[in-house]
């Protein structure tokens, strides 16, 4: 897992390092400045002439260190300080004095076309209000710069918590962030404004005594190494899935969900779908079918499927007619095993939240923001203002593992433990991609993975498979089944 932090959490870790651990703030600044300097060289940025723009806080002080290191290494660099001298921090004043002692160049004005690289050390992670005045004017000027831009810790004007643009923001080619990745560098538009993001170790660490609330993490490829096959297993060992999917004339969602489940390693799959779809599954002989129509004894059919299976799934393509509603109610009121609810299953939950809360077997809910909005009344824009908090709150309220799907998907079981997925790409915004995710989740649950672990691992695996598909097909050419095939290839590599 990669630990992620909010702006406030990072400031607290910084404070603990200085005051409790005894590491002087100037030492941390030297390490921060050196990390940025080294990364600029590593990226082979054009350092013929660099302008370092500084605010009056400690982020600006880091910038003065960078300018000093550039100058001493023979790379011409100018420092322009935008802040009010009356508001400079003690560290900033000290770094200015050190810089003057070394003879670095301080300027009051600048012309962008004279520089090849600009270092943005204007505003740090503590920004909480919209950028205005001189800072805003300078940031807007930078949008016309044709060279390279490097941001120190976070692009100025980006919320360290949500990635929102606070009035105006620097668009960087490279961001070197310190200690831990900030959540605002994960969510869009912050992730796009940061460009390439590098996390630099400067000596700030979270110890076991430091409680972070919420604790926010990103799944990494290391977690996938837990997906081991039992060499003595049989198809029952790897789990049986009962998937209610598809409706009249809608076959693809059922196929893709089932295909994703089998590609993830599930042992057996039974798809419950309308009788009209029977002829469509000729190309998917691995799946068993349980078909129904208006004359079917639905309760008996569901009882048979639920008793047979180890896990249940419902939603992809089922529609919202009374029959689909009845099937969902049977699952929620009589089921005892892990359950994934997606797509139309989520649309049918409105007014049935109590059944969800009281479900005994553990549930995973996978709404995209439109479905989440219909269920809660919270608009996508409002969710983006507090993605971690809102997801965690509703996960606890509904007693579920909640996966809120977006360009950066958020996973939570309660407000204190949040996961943000960093894998995936825009090519996955294609029909059926969410259906494949449902199948992946079911495949992991069928292999006895706990619901929360299956949720964050499954979302990461889904995104990683999409990244692999993009490498092979190009992002514009990805089909949902390419993601399922990519899942199998990633598991093969492990």
> Span 232-254, mean pLDDT?
91
Do residue 178 and residue 241 come from a single domain?
no
Mean pLDDT rounded to a whole number for the chain: 95
pLDDT for 210 beyond 90: no
3-state SS assignment for residue 92 = helix
Structure tokens at 281: 């599954």
Q: Which of 159, 182, 212 is the last residue of a domain?
A: 212
- Name the residue range of residue 368's domain: 232-493
Residue 188 pLDDT: 96
With 80 as the cut, is the pLDDT of residue 382 above it?
yes
Which CATH number characterizes residue 387's domain? 3.40.1190.20
pLDDT at 236: 85
Q: Residue 11: inside a domain, yes or no?
A: yes
pLDDT greater than 90 at residue 380: yes
State the pLDDT at residue 225. Answer: 75
Residues 204 and 239 in one domain: no
Confidence grade of residue 276 (pLDDT, cut at 50, 70, 90)? confident
pLDDT of residue 458: 97
pLDDT grade for 83, boundaries at 50, 70 and 90: confident
Q: Are residues 41 and 147 in the same domain?
A: yes
- Is residue 224 one of the residues assigned to a domain? no
What does the pLDDT look like over 415-437, one tens digit per residue? 999 999 999 999 999 999 999 99
Q: CA neighbours within 13 Å on the CB side: how many for 277? A: 27
Count CB neighbours of 2 within 10 A.
15
How far apart, in Å, are the Cα atoms of 249 and each of 254, 258, 288, 315? 11, 17, 19, 15
Is residue 202 domain-resident?
Answer: yes
Q: What pLDDT, on a 0 to 100 scale, did the predictor assign at position 35?
A: 98
Tell which of 212, 243, 264 closes a domain.
212
pTM of the model: 0.94
Are residues 272 and 206 both part of a single domain? no
Do 305 and 448 share a structural domain?
yes
Query: Rounded to whole angstroms, how far apart are CA atoms 226 and 232?
Result: 17
Q: pLDDT tens digit string along 21-36?
A: 999 999 999 999 999 9
Domain tally, the chain:
2
Decide: 461 and 440 in contact? Cβ < 8 Å: yes
What confidence score (pLDDT) does residue 107 get? 96
- CB-based contact 337:435 (threshold 8 Å): no
Between 36-40, 147-151, 487-491, the lowest mean confidence (pLDDT) is in 487-491
Whether pLDDT at 134 is above 90? yes
Q: In the prediction, which pLDDT does 422 show? A: 97
- What pLDDT score does 95 carry? 97
What confidence score (pLDDT) does residue 278 get?
86
84 lies in the same domain as 141:
yes
Mean per-residue pLDDT, 156-174: 97
One domain, residues 183 and 129? yes
What pLDDT score does 40 carry? Answer: 98
| CATH code (residue 28) | 3.40.50.10260
- Average pLDDT value for residue range 240-253: 93
Is 249 a residue whose pLDDT tops 90? no
Same domain? 185 vs 255: no
223 backbone φψ class: left, alpha, beta (φ>0; ψ -120 to 50): alpha
> Are the beta carbons of 306 and 312 closer than 8 angstroms?
yes
| pLDDT tier at 227, thresholds 50, 70, 90 | confident
Residue 245 has pLDDT above 90, yes or no: yes
Query: Last residue of a domain, which of 212, 240, 262?
Result: 212
Same domain, 204 and 238: no
Three-class DSSP category at 103? coil
User: Six-digit token pair at 328?
Assistant: 């969902």
**Quick one: pLDDT at residue 224?**
83
Q: Average pLDDT in the 307-318 region? A: 97
| Distance, CA of 185 to CA of 142 (rounded, Å) | 20
Rounded Cα–Cα distance for residues 203 and 201 (Å): 6
Q: Is the predicted pLDDT of residue 222 greater than 90, yes or no? A: no
| Residue 129 is assigned to a structural domain of this protein | yes
287-302 pLDDT tens trace: 999 999 888 999 999 9
Q: Do 359 and 479 belong together in one domain?
A: yes
Residues 100 and 134 in one domain: yes
- Is 68 contained in some domain? yes
Region 166-194: mean pLDDT is 97
Quick one: pLDDT at residue 237? 86
Q: What is the pLDDT, as a whole number, of residue 271? A: 96
Element (H, E) at 192: helix 190-194
What is the mean predicted confidence (pLDDT) over 171-188? 98
Identify whether 275 is part of a domain: yes
Per-residue confidence (pLDDT) for residue 280, from 0 to 100: 80
Rounded mean pLDDT of 251-259?
94
* pLDDT, mean of residues 112-128: 95
- Together in a domain, 158 and 243: no
Q: Evaluate whether residue 418 is within a structural domain.
A: yes
Range list of β-strands (E), 415-451:
417-420
**60 belongs to a structural domain:** yes
Tokens 């909010």: give the residue: 6
Residue 362 has pLDDT above 90, yes or no: yes
């Amino acid at each position: 897992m990669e630990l992620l932090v909010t702006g406030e959490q990072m400031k607290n870790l910084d404070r603990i390092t200085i005051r409790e651990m005894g590491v002087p703030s100037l030492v941390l600044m030297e390490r921060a400045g050196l990390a940025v300097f080294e990364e600029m060289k590593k990226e082979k940025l054009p350092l013929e002439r660099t302008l370092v723009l500084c605010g009056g806080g400690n982020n600006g002080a880091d910038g003065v260190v960078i300018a000093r290191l550039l100058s001493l290494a023979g790379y011409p660099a100018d420092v322009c300080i935008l802040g009010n001298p009356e508001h400079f921090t003690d560290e900033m004043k000290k770094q200015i004095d050190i810089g003057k002692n070394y003879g670095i160049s301080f300027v009051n004005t600048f012309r962008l076309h004279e520089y090849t690289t600009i270092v943005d050390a204007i505003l740090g992670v503590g920004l909480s209000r919209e950028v205005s005045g001189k800072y805003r004017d300078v940031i807007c000027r930078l949008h016309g710069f044709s060279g390279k831009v490097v941001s120190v810790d976070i692009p100025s004007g980006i919320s360290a918590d949500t990635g929102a643009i606070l009035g105006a923001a620097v668009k960087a080619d490279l961001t070197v962030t310190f200690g831990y990745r900030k959540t605002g560098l994960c969510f869009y538009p912050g992730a796009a404004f940061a460009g390439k993001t590098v996390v630099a170790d400067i000596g700030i660490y979270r110890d076991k005594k430091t409680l972070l609330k919420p604790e926010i993490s990103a799944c990494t490829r290391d977690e996938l190494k837990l997906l081991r096959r039992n060499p003595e297993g049989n198809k029952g060992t790897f789990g049986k899935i009962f998937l209610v999917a598809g409706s009249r004339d809608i076959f693809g969602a059922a196929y893709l969900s089932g295909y994703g489940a089998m590609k993830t390693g599930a042992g057996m799959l039974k798809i419950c779908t309308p009788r009209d779809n029977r002829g469509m599954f000729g190309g998917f002989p691995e799946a068993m079918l349980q078909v129904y129509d208006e004359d079917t004894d639905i309760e008996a059919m569901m009882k048979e499927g639920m008793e047979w299976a180890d896990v249940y799934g419902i939603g992809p393509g089922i529609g919202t007619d009374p029959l689909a509603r009845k099937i969902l109610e049977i699952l929620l009121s009589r089921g005892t095993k892990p359950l994934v609810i997606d797509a139309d299953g989520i649309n049918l939950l409105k007014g049935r939240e109590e059944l969800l809360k009281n479900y005994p077997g553990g549930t995973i809910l996978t709404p995209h923001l439109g479905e989440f909005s219909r269920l809660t009344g919270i608009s996508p824009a409002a969710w983006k203002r507090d993605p971690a908090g809102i997801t965690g709150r509703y996960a606890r309220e509904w007693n579920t593992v909640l996966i809120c799907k977006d360009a950066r998907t958020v996973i939570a079981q309660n407000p204190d433990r949040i996961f943000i997925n960093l894998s995936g790409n825009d090519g996955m915004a294609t029909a059926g991609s969410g259906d494949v995710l449902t199948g992946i989740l079911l495949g992991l649950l069928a292999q006895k993975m706990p619901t929360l672990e299956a949720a964050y691992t499954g979302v990461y695996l889904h995104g990683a498979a999409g990244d692999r598909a993009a490498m092979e097909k190009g992002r514009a050419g990805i089909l949902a089944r390419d993601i399922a095939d990519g899942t199998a290839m990633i598991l093969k590599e492990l």
